[in-house]
Amino acid sequence: MTQMTYAEAARMGLREEMLRDPAVWALGEDLGYEGGMAGQYKGLQDEFGPDRIVDTPISENTIMGAAVGAAIAGTRPIAEMRFSDFAMCAVSELVNQAAKARYMFGGQARVPLVARMPIGIRGGIAAQHSQSPEAWYTHVPGLVVVTPATPADNRGLLKAAIRCDDPVVYMEHKGLWGVAGEVDEDDQEPVPLGVARIARAGSDVTVVSWAAQVAVALEAAESLAGEGISAEVIDLRTLWPWDREAVLASAGRTGRLLVVHEAVRVGGFGGEIAAEVAEELRIPVARLGGARIPIPFSVPLEEAYKIKADRVAARVREMLA
Partner 1 sequence: MTSNLANEPARVAAMYRKMLLIRAFEEAAGESFFAGNVRGSVHQYIGEESIAVGICENLRDDDYLTSNHRGHGHSIAKGAHPRAMMFELFGRVGGTSNGKGGSMHIADFSVGMLGANGVIADGCTISVGAAQAFRLLGKDSIVVNFIGDGGINRGPFMEALNWAKVYELPVLFVCENNQIAATTTTRLVTAGEGIAKRAESFGLPAHTIDGNDLFEVDGTAARVIGEIRNGSGPQLIQAMTYRLRGHFAHDQAGYRDPAEVEAALGREPIARTEAWLRENGMSADEIAAMRAEVDSEIAGYVAEALAAPWPDEGTAFTDVQDVGAPVRGEAVQ
Ligand X SMILES: Cc1ncc(C[n+]2csc(CCOP(=O)(O)OP(=O)(O)O)c2C)c(N)n1
The answer to whether 60 contacts ligand X (rule: CB under 6 A) is yes
The C-alpha atoms of residue 18 and residue 21 are separated, in whole angstroms, by 5
Q: Are 148 and 237 within 8 A, CB to CB?
A: yes
What values do phi and psi take at 291, rounded to 5? -65, 155
Q: What are phi and psi of 169, to 5 degrees?
A: -90, 110
Please report how many Cα atoms fall inside a 13 Å half-sphere around the Cα of residue 142, on the Cβ side.
Answer: 23
Residue 193 interface partner, choices ligand X, a copy of itself, partner 1, none, CB cut-off 5-8 Å depending on type: partner 1
Pairing of strands 76-80, 24-28: parallel
| 106 near partner 1, rule: CB under 8 A | yes
- What is the CA angle 177-150-8, rounded to 5? 45
Residues 6 or more apart in contact with residue 313 via CB below 8 angstroms:
220, 223, 224
Number of residues that bind partner 1 (CB under 8 A): 89
- Is position 89 an interface residue for ligand X (rule: CB under 6 A)? yes
Task: Say whether residue 102 binds partner 1 (CB under 8 A).
Answer: yes
Q: How many residues does the chain have?
A: 321
Residue whose CB is less far from partner 1, 148 or 290: 290
Q: Which stretch binds partner 1 (CB under 8 A): 122-130, 177-185, 196-204, 229-237?
A: 122-130
Contact partner at residue 72 from a copy of itself, ligand X, partner 1, none, CB < 5 to 8 Å by partner kind:
partner 1
- Smallest CA-to-CA distance from 63 within 48, 83, 42 is with 83
Q: Which segment (20-28, 81-89, 99-107, 165-173) binds ligand X by CB under 6 A?
A: 81-89
Verify binding: residue 123, partner 1, rule CB under 8 A: yes
Q: Which is nearer to partner 1, 6 or 48 (CB)?
A: 48
d(CA 18, CA 23): 8
Residue 86 within binding range of ligand X, rule CB under 6 A: yes
How far, in whole angstroms, is CA 99 from its chain's centroid? 18
Task: For partner 1, give the closer residue by CB, 2 or 305.
Answer: 305
Interface ranges with a copy of itself (CB under 8 A): 85-86, 88-89, 91-92, 95-96, 99-100, 103-104, 126-128, 133, 135-136, 138-142, 240, 263-264, 266-272, 274-276, 278-279, 282, 284-287, 291-294, 296
Give yes or no for residue 41 binding ligand X (CB under 6 A): no
Is 129 tagged catalytic? yes
* Residues catalogued as catalytic: 129
